[in-house]
């Protein structure tokens, strides 16, 4: 594992997609440079900022000032915070707002917020005027290491999470780690689940580094920038190989099949945040892998011990408000985006750092496993 870079050095990770390649710029205090970066990238473009009420209180004014200092005409749309914003109603309102603001094909949408804002604004950009460019300015740890990178945009359906959307790559991602200072501790922990994911799916050395350095990452400083950069490099490499998830990009869904089902069963509410659901999902994926004899039980226990140490849920009975019904969970799993011709697909592991795509998993085996975990 390489040593963390100095916090003062902005880190640039390129997502290599040919003519649609873009940079992820990572560092502390980068929000002030956003206007200059956009002006250099799209001279003369106007910008419409999409954000939520919580983020607006902390960061909207500084974002507007930075853009205006670079002579960029700005407007903004503020949506309600939370997963409920990824709905048809809010999506329609946002698209109408973009058109009412007279945004042209040469202008930009700026997604200033966490994963919800990024997914919602990115999807609206993908379809408004048949496609507007957009810039991701992620304000949560989860968004900085995962949802802002790779071009997946979506809203939720009553049938499940992220089932309505499009692949639409941003033209720039600016990950200012100083913005994470205003995150509630629970939100930061939830985002950390997506950092751990990169170690578990393909980098055992990174997972070991996180076991030793997670406290410094939570506190801020060089370890934070380093972990975000490692995560972004891992995702960028996978996205460059498999942009539209026809192959190994599915590995990025480690923990998501179980996690999305629990998240949806909890009504996309504060009962279980997205990152908490993914942490729980990864614990279950490693337990399920151990049950299938794919890895020693001690490996699964090591994963669960680390997730628990940072405060993430590892047992279904930790879910606030009681555990969901088994039949509901199985119906949601059957709607997972990785299902092909009715066959379940899971991301399982042969060890820490050795995830793989398991196709045609027996639904009865999954149901039996979940029934055991739910105490049914």
- Please state the φ and ψ torsions of residue 312, each to the nearest 5 degrees: -95, 150
The CATH class given to the 11-181 domain equals: alpha beta
> Rounded to an integer, what distance in angstroms lies between the CA atom of residue 266 and that of residue 83?
11
> Rounded to an integer, what distance in angstroms lies between the CA atom of residue 151 and that of residue 83?
18
**Cβ pair 113, 143 in contact under 8 A:** yes
> Rounded to an integer, what distance in angstroms lies between the CA atom of residue 224 and that of residue 178?
10
**pTM of the full structure:** 0.93
Provide CATH 3.40.50.1970 ranges for the chain: 11-181
Q: What angle do the packed helices 204-219 and 297-309 form, to 10 degrees?
A: 10
How is residue 272 written in tokens?
A: 């279980």
> Rounded to an integer, what distance in angstroms lies between the CA atom of residue 236 and that of residue 375?
40
How is residue 111 written in tokens?
A: 């997604």
pLDDT band per the 50, 70, 90 thresholds, residue 8: low
pLDDT band per the 50, 70, 90 thresholds, residue 338: confident
Tokens 């934070």, residue located: 224
Provide CATH 1.20.1090.10 ranges for the chain: 185-374
pLDDT tens-digit profile of 236-256?
999 999 999 989 999 999 999
Q: Which CATH number applies to 185-374: 1.20.1740.10, 1.20.1090.10, 2.70.150.10, 3.40.50.1100? A: 1.20.1090.10
How is residue 17 written in tokens?
A: 């997609």
Q: Provide the annotated active-site residues.
A: 130, 152, 194, 235, 245, 249, 253, 256, 260, 274
pLDDT band per the 50, 70, 90 thresholds, residue 230: very high
The DSSP code sequence of 188-245 is HHHHHHHHHHHHHHH-HHHHHHHHHHHHHHHH-SHHHHHHHHHHHHHHHHHHHH-TTS
Strand partners, 12: 25
How is residue 216 written in tokens?
A: 């410094």
How is residue 20 written in tokens?
A: 């649609």
Residue 205 scores a pLDDT above 50:
yes
The residues, ordered by sequence, that sit 6+ positions from 23 with a Cβ below 8 Å of its Cβ are 12, 13, 14, 15, 172, 173
236 vs 102, 177, 227, 256, 263, CA distance in Å?
33, 18, 14, 19, 26
């Amino acid at each position: 594992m390489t040593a963390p870079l100095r916090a003062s050095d902005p880190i640039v990770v390129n997502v290599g997609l040919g003519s649609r390649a873009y940079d992820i710029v990572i560092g502390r205090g980068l929000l002030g440079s956003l206007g200059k970066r956009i002006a250099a990238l799209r001279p003369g473009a106007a910008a419409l900022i999409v954000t939520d009420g919580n983020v607006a209180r902390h960061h909207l004014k500084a974002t507007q000032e930075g853009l205006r200092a670079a002579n960029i005409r700005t407007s903004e749309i503020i949506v309600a915070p939370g997963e409920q914003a990824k709905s048809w109603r809010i999506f329609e309102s946002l698209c109408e707002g973009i058109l009412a603001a007279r945004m042209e094909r040469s202008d930009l949408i700026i997604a200033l917020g966490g994963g919800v804002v990024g997914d919602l604004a990115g999807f609206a950009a993908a379809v408004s005027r048949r496609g507007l460019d957009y810039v991701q300015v992620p304000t949560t740890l989860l968004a900085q290491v995962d949802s802002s990178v790779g071009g997946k945009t979506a809203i939720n359906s009553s049938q499940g999470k992220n089932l309505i959307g499009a692949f639409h790559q941003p033209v720039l991602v600016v990950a200012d780690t100083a913005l994470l200072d205003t995150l509630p501790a629970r939100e930061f922990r939830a985002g950390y689940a997506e950092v751990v994911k990169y170690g578990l799916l393909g980098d055992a050395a990174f997972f070991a580094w996180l076991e030793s350095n997670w406290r410094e990452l939570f506190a801020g400083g060089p370890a934070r920038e380093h972990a975000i950069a490692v995560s972004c490099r891992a995702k960028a490499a996978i996205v460059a190989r498999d942009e539209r998830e026809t192959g190994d990009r599915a590995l990025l869904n480690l923990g998501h099949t179980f996690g999305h089902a629990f998240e949806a069963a909890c009504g996309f509410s504060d009962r279980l945040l997205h990152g908490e659901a993914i942490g729980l999902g990864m614990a279950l994926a490693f337990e399920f892998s151990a049950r299938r004899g794919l890895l020693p039980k001690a490996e699964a226990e090591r994963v669960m011990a680390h997730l628990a140490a940072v405060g993430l849920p590892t047992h279904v009975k930790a879910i606030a408000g009681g555990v969901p019904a088994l039949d509901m969970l199985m119906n949601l799993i059957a709607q997972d985006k990785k299902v092909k011709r009715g066959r379940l697909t899971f991301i399982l592991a042969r060890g820490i750092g050795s995830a793989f795509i398991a196709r045609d998993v027996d639904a009865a085996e999954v149901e039996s496993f979940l029934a055991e975990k739910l105490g049914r």
